[in-house]
Homo-oligomer: A and B are copies of this chain.
Amino acid sequence: MPAPAQFVEFVDTHADKFIQRLADAVAIPSVSGEAGRREDVVKMAHWLNGQLNSLGVTTELRDLGKHVMDGQELSLPPAILGRMGDDPKKKTILIYGHFDVQPAFKSDGWDTEPFKLVIDSKTGRLIGRGSTDDKGPIMGWLNVLETHKSLGLELPVNLRFCFEGMEESGSEGLDDLIVSETKKGKEGWFDGVDCVCISDNYWLNDRTPCLTYGLRGLSYFKIVVQGPARDLHSGMFGRAVHEPMTDLIALMSKLVTPDGKILVPGVDEMVPAADDEEKKIYNSLDYSIADVEDAVGGKIAISADKATVLMGRMRMPSLSLHGIEGAFYGAGAKTVIPAKVSGKFSIRLVPPQTPDKINPLVVKYLESEFAKLNSKNQLSVECLHGGKPWVADIKHWNYEAAIKATQAVYKKQPDLTREGGSIPVTLTFAESLGVNVLLLPMGRGDDGAHSTNEKLDRSNYIEGTKLLGTYLYEAAAISA
């Protein structure tokens, strides 16, 4: 059951109106990470709520309490829960999106005003903060609803919505809301949800649509080495005392090799090697070593083998050294022996790794390596935060529907990808609801989410709207 032809046609003929909707959304600078913009995030919630209501969605704004930001206590912006359709014969799909955005100032290097959507008619780019992350996809869903309302078409599935305004600032309050609504059973907003669809990531490249079925988890560590009571002058005490930086650098050098192998015993070993069949998946992705090197702006791929590089990003754990707190970090030369230094590193986790399994291995290893240094300084290791990895079953009808929809709209087989980063709400939905979660991106890999000149290509927005609607029809058609 592909989407009706009139649906597709309506989207094409109303493209300009839909772009205006995106422009209206971008014009509200709903930056969750700046206290001074909090009112705009709330304004955005009300604007979106109004749109949903006018398109027939029953909603509730949920107060998520207060938090402290920049030393001020602030009310969190409300989350929006929505419901449309209660037909027991239809599948029920939960849609997630976020209406807050990253900070943006023209002075950061934008070519245009970040909160004014600019349509570049030459390139087809719709440029503005939030265009691709994540207002474009939310507007896509509104476009689908408007099309059905205008045409008097019935939706092929029941929909539930969960939109938040704090994703760019840690999704504060959302996990509790999801868990509590799930626990309520029949009384909860997520009762009867059959699957989840999240559009908040990107294609691998600028050519080929993708579906994402895995995310890495994370364990973030802080290694603290301290010795003297205060910072020392290296002239006075160099070679007279054990220096915390020397010890810390020695420890940090024992974590990972320049080609990415993790040296903490048991970490890499926990992950089963990919067999030839799995390697084929990576070799067949429309993403080359040259694409990776273009994306990072340097010829620094960790291997000349495509599968090795892509698996390194998608299905292998990785360990990155982020920096040191407490040491000299400025320009110029300062001859300090810092008294207390904290090395920061994190390990991206893949199944079956979890923070609970990994953290003890890291702590034990660091303590044993520190003992070998014979230093009189003191070591402590903290895990600052952690999150489990997530992998979905790509043989589930939810993925089958998305693959068919992609073929129908883009006439292409989508890349099936795992992402190296985390989208924590994905795991919350998967674990709380116990249903299949699909990541169905709208934008391209070069959209520059979080960066200057963020854009969504017009074709991704319009074809993406078709993709979202078509996915609902394909999902409805498959016998679960």
Contact = CB atoms under 8 A, between A and B. Distances in A.
Nearest to A316: B239
A319 B329 CA distance: 18
Contact of A298 (B228, B259, B302): B228
Contacts of A422: 235
Interface in A220-264: 220, 222, 227-230, 232-243, 245-247, 249-250, 252-253, 256-260
Nearest to A346: B335
A245 B333 contact: no
A228 B296 contact: yes
Given A233-B421, A258-B373, A320 B245 contact: yes
Contacts of A218: 235, 335
Contacts of A299: 376
Nearest to A261: B239
A220 B336 CA distance: 12
A313 interface: yes
B384 A302 contact: no
Contacts of A234: 318, 320, 322, 346, 348, 420
Contacts of A235: 216, 218, 348, 419-422
Contacts of A238: 260, 312-313, 318-320, 348, 420
Contacts of A228: 296-298, 300
A295 to B, nearest CB: 8
B296 A232 contact: yes
Contacts of A317: 239
Contact of A292 (B241, B312, B348): B241
Number of copies: 2
Most B CB atoms within 10 A — which of A228, A332, A335?
A: A335
A237 B335 contact: no
Interface in A251-288: 252-253, 256-260
A335 B321 CA distance: 9
Given A236-B313, A249-B249, A329-B325, A296 B346 contact: no
Nearest to A252: B249
B298 A241 contact: yes
A100 B377 CA distance: 36
Interface in A420-439: 420-422
Nearest to A331: B325
A112 interface: no
B309 A335 contact: no
Contacts of A309: 240
Given A234-B322, A318-B234, A338-B322, A259 B245 contact: no
Interface string A331-372: 111111110000010101000000000000000000000000
Contacts of A316: 239
Contacts of A260: 238-239
Interface of A: 216, 218, 220, 222, 227-230, 232-243, 245-247, 249-250, 252-253, 256-260, 292-293, 295-302, 309-310, 312-313, 316-325, 327-338, 344, 346, 348, 373-377, 384-385, 419-422
4 tightest A-B CB contacts, nearest first: A229-B297, A235-B421, A238-B318, A323-B328
